[in-house]
């Protein structure tokens, strides 16, 4: 045999050996990929009672696996016996979903939360509403499933669901409530000791005495116009409270007050409020129930009637207090043409631009509710109002501070005010 023939034979043998090795390696790789060892289960598996609930759920958590993907599933099996068959499936999720980041009320906002899966099990739903004994310990097994391949984790986790009397994650709300209540009580006590306690100025309220004094000097009436809502509206309740304070001053000044209404119940309440104010002023004889009257129960007939009163009697001061709709501009513009001092107050934000434009003074939003405290100087009302102002100031400071800290990535102040 020549050297050339020997060389070719060796090369052929080497080629066949290489091909066989490659085929063997490829086949082994495929078989390995399809074998159960391809799925690497998590290193641990834990179960615990879900905190801050009514005892209806059990929480499960485990670290992520290198095999997590949309095609791989986690399946949790449940059993009442630790040595049971674990045939009942409690939950099935894709392995790339359900992380601890979804439950900051349990795990907070740690960066490592994305490295752990988390699910909640409702035992009653799993057992289709079947009655479970109280303090029933349940056992769980975790499996990874990919196609026909299923790998069980050796660990068997167990937990017992029970209710919690205190929701620990809402303690911050409780603390805030205690602080706010303490501030309110402090200012109420302070207002009782100091009746002249300072309250922030509101132009519309400071002008009430000016408007009533002008009406007295001119010998013209004061017109109080209610909004269109019923007595069940908070704005109408606030309006009647303001009416009482105005009526008391009117009685002292011996001026003439007229109150127009579009609701019979509001009219009745207004009559009693005005009558009581005249009694407090020691002028019951000056009260005239005919000056508190019903003009119309519909919107635009009401506007037409009130506009006629303004045009004929030309009151020296007009008060538009309550909740108004489209009639706001018509009323205020009509009053402006008569030369009256006009003071409006409403919590209807859609009508505020019209009142601000056509009236001399406007109580905006919550100022309507605060008016009774300013006019009456009642310690309870003054203390509550002052505490609200302090609370607003603190809230503004917290918002500014929180914005600055959040700009630098510090969000802990935000979490202090969360309500889970």
Residue 365 domain-assigned (yes or no): yes
Q: Which residue has the tokens 């009581």?
A: 276
Is residue 105 a contact partner of residue 52, using CB atoms and an 8 Å limit? yes
* Predicted pLDDT of residue 36: 41
* Predicted pLDDT of residue 201: 81
* Predicted pLDDT of residue 359: 95
Residue range 97-113, pLDDT digits in tens: 999 999 988 888 888 89
* Predicted pLDDT of residue 133: 82
CA-CA-CA-CA torsion sign (98, 73, 34, 79): positive
Host H or E run for residue 144: strand 137-146
Residue 122 domain-assigned (yes or no): yes
The verdict on 285 and 322 lying in the same domain is yes
The verdict on 120 and 231 lying in the same domain is no
Host H or E run for residue 120: strand 116-121
Number of H helices, E strands in the chain: 14, 13
The verdict on 220 and 140 lying in the same domain is no
pLDDT in tens, the chain (420 residues): 555 566 566 656 666 677 676 666 555 554 444 444 478 889 899 999 999 888 889 999 999 999 899 999 999 999 999 998 998 999 999 999 999 999 988 888 888 899 999 999 999 889 887 777 888 899 999 999 998 889 999 899 999 998 888 888 788 888 888 998 999 999 999 989 988 888 888 878 888 889 999 999 999 999 999 999 999 998 999 999 999 989 999 999 989 999 999 999 999 999 999 999 999 999 999 999 999 999 999 999 999 999 999 999 999 999 999 999 999 999 999 999 999 999 999 999 999 999 999 999 999 988 888 887 887 788 888 888 889 888 888 889 988 988 898 888 787 777 777 665
Residue 21 domain-assigned (yes or no): no
The candidate with the shortest Cα–Cα distance to 420, out of 179, 180, 174, is 174
Residue 239 domain-assigned (yes or no): yes
The verdict on 290 and 398 lying in the same domain is no
Residue 190 domain-assigned (yes or no): no
* Predicted pLDDT of residue 20: 72
Q: In sequence order, what are the residues at sequence separation of 6 or more whose Cβ sits closer than 8 angstroms to the Cβ of residue 140?
A: 45, 47, 58, 60, 76, 77, 78, 79, 90, 121, 156, 157, 158, 159
The verdict on 225 and 352 lying in the same domain is yes
Residue 58 domain-assigned (yes or no): yes
The verdict on 219 and 305 lying in the same domain is yes
Alpha carbon 30 to chain centroid distance? 56
Residue 154 domain-assigned (yes or no): yes
Joined tokens for residue 36: 């159960």
Residue 11 domain-assigned (yes or no): no
The verdict on 85 and 135 lying in the same domain is yes
The verdict on 363 and 399 lying in the same domain is no
* Predicted pLDDT of residue 340: 94
CA distance 252 to 241: 17
* Predicted pLDDT of residue 398: 87
Q: For the domain that residue 58 is a member of, what is the CATH number?
A: 2.60.40.10
* Predicted pLDDT of residue 13: 62
The verdict on 140 and 101 lying in the same domain is yes
Structural domain total, the chain: 3
Domain containing 291: what range?
Answer: 196-376
Q: Which pTM value belongs to this model?
A: 0.63
The verdict on 46 and 138 lying in the same domain is yes
The verdict on 212 and 353 lying in the same domain is yes
State the pairing for strand pair 88-94/73-79: antiparallel
The verdict on 315 and 409 lying in the same domain is no
Per DSSP, the residues of 342-355 read EEEEES-TTTHHHH
């Amino acid at each position: 045999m020549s050297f050339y023939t020997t060389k070719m034979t060796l090369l052929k043998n080497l080629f066949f050996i290489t091909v066989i090795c490659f085929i063997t390696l490829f086949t082994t790789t495929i078989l390995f990929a399809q074998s159960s060892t391809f799925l690497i289960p998590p290193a641990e598996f834990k179960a615990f009672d879900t905190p801050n609930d009514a005892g209806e759920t059990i929480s499960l958590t485990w670290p992520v696996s290198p095999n997590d993907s949309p095609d791989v599933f986690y399946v949790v099996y449940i059993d009442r016996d630790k040595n049971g068959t674990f045939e009942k499936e409690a939950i099935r999720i894709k392995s790339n979903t359900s992380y601890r980041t979804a439950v900051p009320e349990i795990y907070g906002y740690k960066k490592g939360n994305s490295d752990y899966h988390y699910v909640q099990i409702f035992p009653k739903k799993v057992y289709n509403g079947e009655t479970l004994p109280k303090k029933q310990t349940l056992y769980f097994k975790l499996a990874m499933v990919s196609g026909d391949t299923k790998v069980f984790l050796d660990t068997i986790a167990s937990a017992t669901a029970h209710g919690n009397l205190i929701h620990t994650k809402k303690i911050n709300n409780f603390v805030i409530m205690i602080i706010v209540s303490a501030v309110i009580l402090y200012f109420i006590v302070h207002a009782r000791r100091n009746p002249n306690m300072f309250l922030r100025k509101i132009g519309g309220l400071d002008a009430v005495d000016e408007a009533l004094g002008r009406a007295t000097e001119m010998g013209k009436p004061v017109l109080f116009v209610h909004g269109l809502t019923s007595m069940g509206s908070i704005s109408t309740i606030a309006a009647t409270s303001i009416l009482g304070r105005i009526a008391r001053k009117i009685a002292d000044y011996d001026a003439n007050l007229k109150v127009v209404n579009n609701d019979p119940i509001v009219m009745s309440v207004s009559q009693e409020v005005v009558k009581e104010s005249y009694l407090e002023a020691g002028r019951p004889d000056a009260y005239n129930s005919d000056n508190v009257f019903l003009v119309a129960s519909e919107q635009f007939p009401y506007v037409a009637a009130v506009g006629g009163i303004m045009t004929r009697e030309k009151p020296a001061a007009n008060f538009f207090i309550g909740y108004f709709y489209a009639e706001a501009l018509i009323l205020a513009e009509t009053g402006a043409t008569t030369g009256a001092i006009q003071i409006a107050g409403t919590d209807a934000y859609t009508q505020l631009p019209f009142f601000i434009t056509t009236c001399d003074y406007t109580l905006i939003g919550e100022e309507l509710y605060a008016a009774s405290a300013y006019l009456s100087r009642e310690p309870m009302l003054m203390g509550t109002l002052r505490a609200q102002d302090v609370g607003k100031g603190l809230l503004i400071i917290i918002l500014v501070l929180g914005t600055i800290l959040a700009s630098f990535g510090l969000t802990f102040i935000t979490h202090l005010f969360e309500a889970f």
